[in-house]
Amino acid sequence: MKRDTPFTLLTNGTALSWADVPEWPLAEFLRNVGAELGRGERLSSFFGVPEGDALRLVAVLAFDAGNTLAVGRSQSFSGSFPALTATHAQAHLFEREIWEQHGVVPENHPWLKPVRKDHGAGPAVGDFFRVDGREIHEVAVGPVHAGIIEPGHFRFQCAGEEVLHLEIALGFQHRGVEEAIAGGPHRATVYQMETVAGDTTIGHATAYANALEALAGTEAPLRAQWLRAIALELERLANHTGDLGALAGDVAFLPTASACGKIRGDFLNLTALLCGNRFGRGLVRPGGCLLDGDTERLSQLRKRLETALAEVQQAAAWLWDAASVRTRFEHTGHLHAKQAAAIGLVGPAARACGLVRDVRFDHPTGWHRFAQVPVSVWPDGDVFARARVRWLEIQRSGDFLREQLDAVPEGETMSSLPALAPNSLAVALVEGWRGEVCHVALTGADGKLRRYKITDPSFHNWTGLALALRGQAISDFPLCNKSFNLSYCGFDL
């Protein structure tokens, strides 16, 4: 679908020359981005590229209905720029991040605070939005949580049991991922990409590999693309199954909780069967896949997959049939489709609000160009819907894997990676189990990575959790939180 836009269009997993990215004066750039967002397009990535003492802004938009991406950039500027957030909530965290990373001020930003770090030394807690009144009390949770969970701070404004507002302050996990890549790729870069969010190793490593392959003007061998697609669905199966179990656990429905805890491990062990590591470390590399699956290994995978799928089917049946579960899941943590679209929600959380958005479907790349996965959507926007979408996706992933493992493509799994094209920009989106993983890579004149921007789906979705809590009982926070199950380190980078 072609339509009139000043942006340059490109498809997922491709690169273009930096010179071909249209450049406008700052005001015009922001007007153009705003106009596309006003048409309902999605902001996949929005970041700064330093040029001397000045800065350029780059926007990557996703035209989901048109199955295409669009890029544009501003001329370099310094000082400040009028915030898009004032009219387009999708830009909210991106503009805070630009301010934090580069010091330019988004003027009239309604909530300008650090994203990951205080500009002094401490973590990103600071002045919170406060509700005043005699009945109001404030609850502070974190950074260290009451379990084996990553750290983050939650600040609730409550009237009795009811949450009026939740503010989520992250940044405790900040490791400096983007800074570490600059001037690379370095020897450690691919290992760092595998740990951007450790539970999304395949998702992030594939996005990184796709971006580098696009810059090198090459493509991984087909069998490697196929293996990546297999591993991506195994990652989804493990995490979705774990989430169903955890959701069951949060409403004290133990049969599904204990069964899913074990089955999740069975799926992780399938990834380990492929590459030795339960999280998929060491499998995906720029240029292909480091390891291959021989016939015997793949037939074992197929067999064990059936067992695990049958078990998760059983565990899910208990869950859906229990009236006590339905009463707790339904109408809890509701998020309206309009809100979800406004904040740019992605992944299962967005699909659970009825939004049809899935990178595998909208922006197919790699093996997904040849084998589609239907988009799983549920309209209600509550905990039930988020659980239900996961269950639908477990089934679709199972079907996909069955189909793919019965028709194994032949050939190599690794090819050498040519040098990266200088002064080029590549965009790679992957539908990780939490949603859209977006990597944007920009090379300099020396063919080294000059700027590397990572957007984990959690970057879009934490705001969704905050909104879903409004009007809820604070005791439902764990359940709502689990229904999103977002990444702290993927957000904090």
Partner 1 sequence: MSVHDTLLNRLKRGCETMAYPKGPAPALPDRHGGALKVEAAKCDASCSACVTVCPTEAIARPAGKPVALDLGRCIFCAECVTVCPTKAITQSNDHRMAVRQREDLVLGDTGKEQVRLAQALDEKLRRLFGRSLKLRQVSAAGCNACEADTNVLGTIGWDLGRFGIQFVASPRHADGLLITGPVSKNMELALKKTYIALPEPRIVIALGACAIAGGPFIGHPQHHNGASGLVPVDLFIPGCPPHPLTILDGLLRLLDRLGESDARR
Does residue 318 touch partner 1 according to CB under 8 A?
yes
Is the CB of 23 or the CB of 292 nearer to partner 1? 292
d(CA 136, CA 12): 48
CB of 425 to partner 1, least distance (A): 25
Residues 238-277 that bind partner 1 (CB under 8 A): 255, 258, 261-262, 264-265, 269, 272-277
Does residue 176 touch partner 1 according to CB under 8 A?
yes
Three-class DSSP category at 90: helix
Please name the amino acid found at residue 238: A
Contacting range for partner 1; rule: CB under 8 A; set: 79-87, 122-130, 205-213, 465-473 = 122-130
Contacting range for partner 1; rule: CB under 8 A; set: 33-41, 52-60, 82-90, 173-181 = 173-181
How many residues are recorded in the chain? 493
Residues 206 and 192: beta-carbon distance below 8 Å:
no
| Spatial CB neighbours of 330, under 8 Å, sequence gap ≥ 6 | 380, 382, 383, 384
Does residue 101 touch partner 1 according to CB under 8 A?
no
Is the CB of 195 or the CB of 218 nearer to partner 1? 195
Does residue 147 touch partner 1 according to CB under 8 A?
yes
Nearest Cα residue to 89 out of 484, 482, 492, 467: 467
Tokens of 42: 């999605």
Binds partner 1 by CB under 8 A, chosen from 17, 126, 140, 191: 191
Residues 376 and 440: beta-carbon distance below 8 Å:
no
Does residue 72 touch partner 1 according to CB under 8 A?
no
In angstroms, the Cα distances linking 467 to 58, 135, 340, 370, 418 are 28, 21, 9, 37, 46
Three-class DSSP category at 80: strand
CB of 459 to partner 1, least distance (A): 15
Does residue 122 touch partner 1 according to CB under 8 A?
yes
Is the CB of 424 or the CB of 487 nearer to partner 1? 487
d(CA 336, CA 388): 16
| Spatial CB neighbours of 268, under 8 Å, sequence gap ≥ 6 | 238, 278, 279
Is the CB of 117 or the CB of 302 nearer to partner 1? 117
Residues 407-426 that bind partner 1 (CB under 8 A): none
Residues 285-304 that bind partner 1 (CB under 8 A): 291
d(CA 229, CA 232): 5
Contacting range for partner 1; rule: CB under 8 A; set: 44-52, 78-86, 177-185, 358-366 = 177-185
Is the CB of 87 or the CB of 327 nearer to partner 1? 327
Contacting range for partner 1; rule: CB under 8 A; set: 92-100, 348-356, 402-410, 482-490 = 482-490
Cα 151 versus chain centre, distance: 18
Does residue 476 touch partner 1 according to CB under 8 A?
no
d(CA 274, CA 202): 12
> 416: which DSSP letter?
P
Number of residues counted as binding partner 1 (CB under 8 A): 62
Contacting range for partner 1; rule: CB under 8 A; set: 15-23, 47-55, 129-137, 175-183 = 175-183
Residues 75 and 23: beta-carbon distance below 8 Å:
yes
Kindly give the interhelix angle for 295-321 and 222-250, rounded to the nearest 10 degrees: 30
Contacting range for partner 1; rule: CB under 8 A; set: 9-17, 144-152, 375-383, 409-417 = 144-152
Residues 71 and 123: beta-carbon distance below 8 Å:
no
> Positive or negative, the Cα torsion across 287, 291, 296, 301?
negative
The values of phi and psi at residue 71, to 5°, are -125, 150
Does residue 63 touch partner 1 according to CB under 8 A?
no
Does residue 279 touch partner 1 according to CB under 8 A?
yes
Contacting range for partner 1; rule: CB under 8 A; set: 59-67, 157-165, 168-176, 349-357 = 168-176
Does residue 455 touch partner 1 according to CB under 8 A?
no
Does residue 458 touch partner 1 according to CB under 8 A?
no
Contacting range for partner 1; rule: CB under 8 A; set: 89-97, 143-151, 334-342, 404-412 = 143-151
| Spatial CB neighbours of 8, under 8 Å, sequence gap ≥ 6 | 16, 20, 21, 22, 70, 71, 72
Is the CB of 34 or the CB of 261 nearer to partner 1? 261
List of residues contacting partner 1 (CB under 8 A): 116-117, 121-124, 143-144, 146-151, 171-177, 179-180, 187-188, 190-192, 194-199, 201, 255, 258, 261-262, 264-265, 269, 272-279, 281-282, 291, 314, 317-318, 321-322, 487-489, 492
